[in-house]
Structure 1
Amino acid sequence: MRYLTGNYIMIRMLLVISLLFLSFYQCFAQNSIKGKVVDEHKAPIPFATIGLKIKTTDSVLKRNVLSNNSGEFIIQNIKGTSAELTISSVGFISFNQAINFSQNPSVDLAEIVLHDDRQTLSGVTIAARKPLIQQKTDRLIMNVQGSVLASGNSAYNILAMAPSVQLINGKLSMEGKSNVLILLNGKKLPNATLESVLGSLPGEQIERIEFITNPSSKYDASASGGVIEIYTKRSSAMGWTANVSGNVAQGYRTSGGGAADFRTSTKKLDFSVSAAYNKTGHIERGFSNRDLYNGQTKVGDFSQKMDLSSGSMIDKSLNGSVNYELNKNNNIGLDVNLMKVSLRGSGNLDAVINDQQSRLTSNTFNDVLLEVGFSNYNLFYKANLDSLGSNLLATANYARYTSGKKQEFNQTTIDENTGDISHSQFRNNAPAKYDIYTGTADYTKIFKNSTKVEAGLKYTLTDNHSNQFMEVYQNGTWTENNNVLSNLGYQEKIYAGYLNINHKFGKLSLQAGLRAEQSSYKVTGGIDSSYFNLFPNLRADYKVTKNYSSSLSYARNINRPSYDNLIPYELFIDNYTSSRGNAYLRPEYAQTFSWNHLYKKYSLRLAYTRTSDAIADVLFYDQSTLRFIETQSNFLTQHLVSASLSVPVKITSWWTTSNRASLFRKELKYPSPFDQHEVITRNKTYYTLNTLSTFTFGNGLSAEVSAYYNSPSISGIYSFRAYSNVSAGIKKSLLKDKASLKLDVSDIFYKNNLFATTNIVPIVTEGINRGDTRRVRLSFRYSFGQDEEKKRAKIQAAGNTNELNRLKL
């Protein structure tokens, strides 16, 4: 009996121990869950948010991941016996399911179908739409697709209305800093000027624009001013689509243009082609006043009125892209971009020159022809290495850029003291050719423990050949001026590599990157140089609460001079002003610290940037010819402190606004023009205000109003008065949303022009140059096609973007 009793007790103890062990195992077992997110057509939904709320004995933990390009996801190392799963994506109804790991620690949900978030009210279908402005800790996102901004506006117009961006006279800055790297689907499609480049891209072709103030080491080290990434709507669905659009605008001159694009996509092949033509009436009107000096003594003054109101700018572009899927994990593709621009401008300049002994008046007829040709060929290969999104991307790129600027000046001068009349005529021709060869390899490895590693290599060879020919008309013939450089050039090689690591520890995310670059260059008539640099990049993000997150970052960057600023040829702006390259210009180096805060949809960014050898525009005065020469030079240091606050407000269900205010404090130091040992310090506090309102009235009717104001500011030796812009437009959707008609007015109060002054002896000037910025425009767009609504992954292939930006295109 004792024996039976003892066995019974032993059996009970074994059962209790087994139950305790099983309970302990269930509490600390490493469970996992995986699945694939698809839509109603079984097409994968990339970047869906998968949220898991894990219940333990004493707490509730939360984990979030994103689905990869194939819609797949996996969450491992789950501690707990049960969890609540939520899957969401914009435009779809959220999916919820309770998960129990008691029976199976490895849960496979196979395919999870998300249904379109659509509601029907009185026969009208309403779909969920992304907000126009989304603010994150490291970037701001404008969701252009489907917005009022898209219709009738070009990428240039949209950027000009974007928060944190200042864009005027073709010069762009973001958060008070220039040298912004602009990417269009991973590369740039340049043209003769930034305005013509972005002006040739219709807003209807844009999906979103991302403004990245803290780019990682993956981007070129020269992105010291941040990165703007523009994504178009290509390859978003299978089937075929086509769009045609046209517009006509009236300001001082009439402008107009048209664009068309076609795309067809199958499971294996994606092909797209687009073409655009624009003709813009050219106008430049303004004045310039200057004091004339002999050393530090004022000896006279100069005033000039300009009216170049004849001529036009014509830009034509043809772009093609073909992507082929070799198999599920391997893709190849080719992108081709062809562009041509011509600008013809002519008109009169009337000048008056006073000195202590005479008074001269002159009339000059200027005739300028600028022709630019650009061709860009980009071959790429992408391999998807696993289901988590790891991949390898390799690109090979060749670009050729040619430009020719022909100028002719016919001047008549009258000496009012003696009555003497003189005539002079000269012409200047400055052709240039750039060949740019680029090769890149980028590797991304995503680990299951919330870690991502990025590494890459890049090689760039830039070869430039330039010439300048100046001729003077004498005795009935053109005679070449032998004092001008006739053979100029530039060559540069850059070897680069980077490593970037991201890891998430619960609420804390860390990023550390390092980029190494070896550069060597030589300039005809300048210097040969070779240098090696390391560019660290650090970032920490912490999610304090559900609604509040904060981040700290540090980055070191380089800004290399643009190619034409290194080549010492001289281009004439008028008889008394020219621009000239500086073959001794050195790169500038910037160190940036930033602290970002995001509470719900409100953001605050604090930043400090110290720039050594800062590149800035300067003027030199040639007393013998009374000519001012514009060039660039290295200053000593520049300090920039900034604070930016973004406040989106939804006033009513049909009226939303995005508002941004930025405050800047800039200080720069440079040597005196008379004593290189004397240091001059300039400083200025200034601010910018930006607001963008969108109105949705129903029945396909919508409107937009945008406005910005920039207070007086400084840049280099220049001081700028305040300038502003108010624009408005109204859009009507037609033919079941297949077509749209829009009427808009830009720069309503005609205040979007810079008035610049300098007050540093002997460079004392003031002046303004007004373009045709106030225009009324009517635009129409029609879309047709047979989308199958089956999505395929997009491939963004960055190649020679940084080099094209240095062309200042």
Structure 2
Amino acid sequence: MMIKLWLFLLLLFLPIFGKAQKATGNNESDSLTRQKSSTTNISEVVIQAAPRSVKLNDGNLTVAVSGNKDFKTSTHLLDVLRKTPGVTIDQEEGIFIGGRVTPAIFIDGKPIVMSNQELQAYLRSLSPEMVESLEVNTNPSSKYDAEFKGIIDIKLKKNTDLGWKGNYNGNLYAYKFNSRENTLNLTYNTEKVAYSFQGGYNDGISFYQYNALQRLANTNVMRTRTYQEDQVNVYNIQAGADFRLNDKNRLRLNLRGSSREIDRMRLGSLYTTDKSETQLVFNTGNENPMHYSQNNYGITTDYSFQNKGFKINFLGNYLSVKNKQKDDFINRDKTSSEVLSYWKSDLVNKIDIYTGQIDASQKIGEAEVEAGLKYSQSNTNNNIRYDTLSVNNQFAFDPDRSNLFSYKEKILAGYLAYKQKFGKLQINAGLRLENTNSVSDAVTLDSIVSRNYLEWLPSFSANYTFNKSNELSLSYSRKITRPVFSQLNPFRYYFSPLNYSIGNPYLQPSFTSQIKATYRYKNWITSFTIGKEKDVMARYPIYNPKTNVLEYLGANLPYRNFAVLETSFPVKITKWWNMTSQISGYYNYEFRPYLDQVFTLGIYNYEIRVNQVFTLPKGYTVNLFANYESKTGNSLYIIKPRYSIDLSIQKSWLDNKLNTKIGYNNIFDTYDQQLEFRHKQIMDNQFRHWWDNSRFYFSLSYSFGGSKYQAKESQRTEEENRAR
């Protein structure tokens, strides 16, 4: 482990060592200096500014993607986001910005309504060459939904050539098991209509391991081990048409569907000894085979009208998600193979989401006034039935575990925004009003929770451009975070026979107020955010010393204070060596009542990421990406530090029509997550999550088709103009 850490530090600070050598070289003798001048040495380089691939847009970081050397070896957009300043991708491919904020994903300035699994598949289908830029907004204004505490806006490259074009992207991953990703993109443009089609198929096996060590209340020592394999098959298809009705009117339609099938086998054991760890108390094994399926269908309609300084836009979305899951939970005595318990579950989950919004804006000289209305409705129904094997070897309905739960939510929102430019200063102000009406019905528990509340949510920002090299932005916003279905649903999700989580239908929404300052000096961008969140939604463990059951429950904490400091700066070391460094520091202070005590603890942690790109002869590009996360946690848990190193190579062929990439992610397999409970007098527990993200990959992309003319782009949105 120590050797790996030293190697990581060497790769991380190699450029700094090079600069240090240059500084000390001035003290050497003239003869030695003359001898070195005849050879090429890294210590002799002159640090230059890298080409500008980042900029600020209303205080938001905007990063060029297509043609950016930092992303040439990336296989898809999730891989690009891992290397984007201010963005973090965790081991389960969750996306976070500004610390631990889950952002909304926009495409060309418009929100997309997708399930989490569908969204991940979509981002994997986008190669870097298909994306013009990314905009990372960590403090959205009142123009956007109040639940959007952050936004990543993906600007796709526009194809205005008449005729048809196509692109195939294929990725192969090799580790203990293999997996494959295949995507076909086709476009056909006429003078009036642009058609698009995308089809994809992904399959493979992934695996996961969980280990825990717990010293029980009776002084026994229990070790939990879990091994899980997932056989995954994913199909997705979408088709769209963009109608250029005339110079003022435009209509877009998009239809999509996806299907996901997962066959999972989870094997585990509970191995318990006395406190000396010499006498066996019990040794049980558990099997949890599972079959899961998800089917998604979505429709998007987008109409816009633009005439001089007036614009109006309507956006409608419908999403239908149906989940089915069947589990078997079999627990045996490993010594005698006797079945200790056996239960089955059958889950059906159905989600329907409808959204409709209309936005209008009018320019008045140097000012612009915007207003909009939005209505959204979501209906979720969850029915899970458990049957337990009885003493007469018959399965009987288990009312204690079974659960019937529904959640309905309606949100009506409106906003008014104003922005104006005064020379080098631009001011933006907005006010949003949201009314939420929700009903959660835990039928099994005979509990109905109804809520109806109205919230005013203001925002303000100011951006001052001193000159081309210096820019300062200051912004304020107030946001609301509503509990999601999984946090509300009071059913058990099992990690092991003695460990599960359960939702809380009485959770309240949380409210966040924050201030953010961003400064850009050339390519160096630094931001500082400070804020407070009230009624924080969090999970907490409850340990039963009699049954040794560990439950994870949901609750609202009174408040937490937080701060985030982020900086990123690209440096061109030589003509063939570019480096981008990212340093982030986080502070979190929780006021957490827990059991009969109140825990207050300020946590400081940091993250360092270094992305090095080497442009070699004959068109080869080599990328070395290193990431380090320091020790962190919260009031209850310590999370130990971890790091990862990725290496990849890219080469284009056949006039750039064929693009190949090979690489190895997480070379040393060091990106597991280890947690330890802080308060040993309450519970002595430590555990480790491990995912199979150490893998070799090969990626191939091929572009085909042709066209001779360009269509007239009769109407451009503000977002499209910014991306030019």
Q: Deviations over 1:160-219 (max 9, x none)?
A: 222212221233321213232222342334343764453344334322221112222111
Q: Does 1:792 align with 2:718?
A: no
Query: CA separation of 1:569/1:202 partners in 2, compared to 1, >3 Å: closer, same or farther?
Result: farther
Q: Matched residues in 1 for 2:485 and 2:422: separation? A: 44
Q: Matched residues in 2 for 1:451 and 1:499: separation? A: 14
Q: Does 1:179 align with 2:111?
A: no
Match of 1:270, SS state, is strand
Give the 5 Å matches for 1:64-213.
131-135=52-56, 138-147=59-68, 149=71, 153-168=75-90, 169-185=92-108, 186-188=110-112, 189-192=114-117, 195-213=120-138
Q: Matched residues in 2 for 1:585 and 1:629: separation? A: 17
What TM-score, normalized to structure 1? 0.77
Q: Deviations over 1:439-489 (max 9, x none)?
A: 100112223x22122211000111111101011123333221122344210
Q: Deviations over 1:241-291 (max 9, x none)?
A: 101122221112111121101001122101101011111322012301223
1:220 Cα offset (Å): 0.9
Query: Which residue of 596, 599, 611 maps to 2:518?
Result: 596
Give the 5 Å matches for 1:649-688.
649-673=571-595, 675=596, 678-688=597-607
Q: 1:57: which partner in 2? A: none
Letter matched to residue 450 of structure 2: D
1:437 Cα offset (Å): 1.2
Q: Does 1:527 align with 2:449?
A: yes
1:506 Cα offset (Å): 0.8
Give the 5 Å matches for 1:718-733.
718-733=637-652
1:382 Cα offset (Å): 0.7
Q: Does 1:754 align with 2:673?
A: yes
Query: Which residue of 241, 245, 259 maps to 1:322?
Result: 241
Query: Which residue of 415, 425, 429 maps to 2:346?
Result: 429
Letter matched to residue 174 of structure 1: I
Q: 1:573: which partner in 2? A: 495
1:383 Cα offset (Å): 0.5
Query: CA separation of 1:202/1:471 partners in 2, compared to 1, >3 Å: closer, same or farther?
Result: farther
Q: Deviations over 1:708-746 (max 9, x none)?
A: 211111246332111222112111111111111111111
Q: 1:539: which partner in 2? A: 461
Letter matched to residue 218 of structure 1: K
1:583 Cα offset (Å): 0.5
Tell me if structure 2 keeps the 8 A contact 1:746–1:773: yes
Letter matched to residue 146 of structure 2: A
Query: CA separation of 1:665/1:265 partners in 2, compared to 1, >3 Å: closer, same or farther?
Result: same
Query: CA separation of 1:743/1:179 partners in 2, compared to 1, >3 Å: closer, same or farther?
Result: closer
Query: CA separation of 1:795/1:248 partners in 2, compared to 1, >3 Å: closer, same or farther?
Result: farther
Tell me if structure 2 keeps the 8 A contact 1:552–1:593: yes
Query: CA separation of 1:542/1:407 partners in 2, compared to 1, >3 Å: closer, same or farther?
Result: same
Q: 1:637: which partner in 2? A: 559
Q: Matched residues in 2 for 1:784 and 1:215: separation? A: 39
Tell me if structure 2 keeps the 8 A contact 1:714–1:720: yes
Q: 1:229: which partner in 2? A: 153
Q: Matched residues in 2 for 1:360 and 1:723: separation? A: 33
Q: Does 1:403 align with 2:326?
A: no
Query: Which residue of 243, 252, 258 maps to 2:167?
Result: 243
Q: 2:702: which partner in 1? A: 782
Match of 1:476, SS state, is coil
Q: Matched residues in 1 for 2:180 and 2:714: separation? A: 35
Query: Which residue of 301, 311, 314 maps to 1:394?
Result: 314
Query: CA separation of 1:399/1:193 partners in 2, compared to 1, >3 Å: closer, same or farther?
Result: closer
Letter matched to residue 451 of structure 1: A
1:408 Cα offset (Å): 1.2
Q: 1:455: which partner in 2? A: 371
Q: 1:466: which partner in 2? A: 382
Query: CA separation of 1:288/1:604 partners in 2, compared to 1, >3 Å: closer, same or farther?
Result: same
Q: Matched residues in 1 for 2:118 and 2:637: separation? A: 22
1:135 Cα offset (Å): 4.8
Q: 1:112: which partner in 2? A: none
Q: Matched residues in 2 for 1:795 and 1:181: separation? A: 23
Q: Matched residues in 2 for 1:378 and 1:161: separation? A: 30
Q: Matched residues in 2 for 1:454 and 1:748: separation? A: 49
Moved more, 727-736 or 698-707: 698-707
Q: 1:802: which partner in 2? A: none
Match of 2:486, SS state, is helix
Match of 2:616, SS state, is strand
Moved more, 148-157 or 766-775: 148-157
Query: Which residue of 480, 485, 493 maps to 2:410?
Result: 493
Q: Matched residues in 1 for 2:161 and 2:677: separation? A: 54
Q: Matched residues in 1 for 2:240 and 2:117: separation? A: 22
Tell me if structure 1 keeps the 8 A contact 2:234–2:259: yes
Root-mean-square deviation (CA, aligned residues, Å) is 2.5
Tell me if structure 2 keeps the 8 A contact 1:336–1:377: yes
Moved more, 298-307 or 334-343: 298-307
Q: Runs (4+) of structure 1 moved beyond 6 Å?
A: 355-358, 793-798
Letter matched to residue 507 of structure 1: K
Tell me if structure 1 keeps the 8 A contact 2:600–2:635: no
Q: Matched residues in 2 for 1:797 and 1:508: separation? A: 19
Q: 1:770: which partner in 2? A: 690
Give the 5 Å matches for 1:706-721.
706-715=625-634, 717-721=636-640
Q: 1:253: which partner in 2? A: 177
Q: Matched residues in 2 for 1:151 and 1:796: separation? A: 31
Tell me if structure 2 keeps the 8 A contact 1:756–1:768: yes
Q: Matched residues in 2 for 1:794 and 1:651: separation? A: 42
Query: Which residue of 700, 705, 720 maps to 2:619?
Result: 700
Q: Matched residues in 2 for 1:236 and 1:629: separation? A: 56
Q: 1:506: which partner in 2? A: 423
Q: Does 1:305 align with 2:225?
A: yes
Q: Matched residues in 1 for 2:402 and 2:715: separation? A: 48
What TM-score, normalized to structure 2? 0.86
Query: CA separation of 1:488/1:331 partners in 2, compared to 1, >3 Å: closer, same or farther?
Result: same
Percent sequence identity is: 23
Letter matched to residue 264 of structure 1: Y
Query: Which residue of 263, 268, 286 maps to 2:210?
Result: 286
Q: Deviations over 1:575-600 (max 9, x none)?
A: 12222221011111101012221112
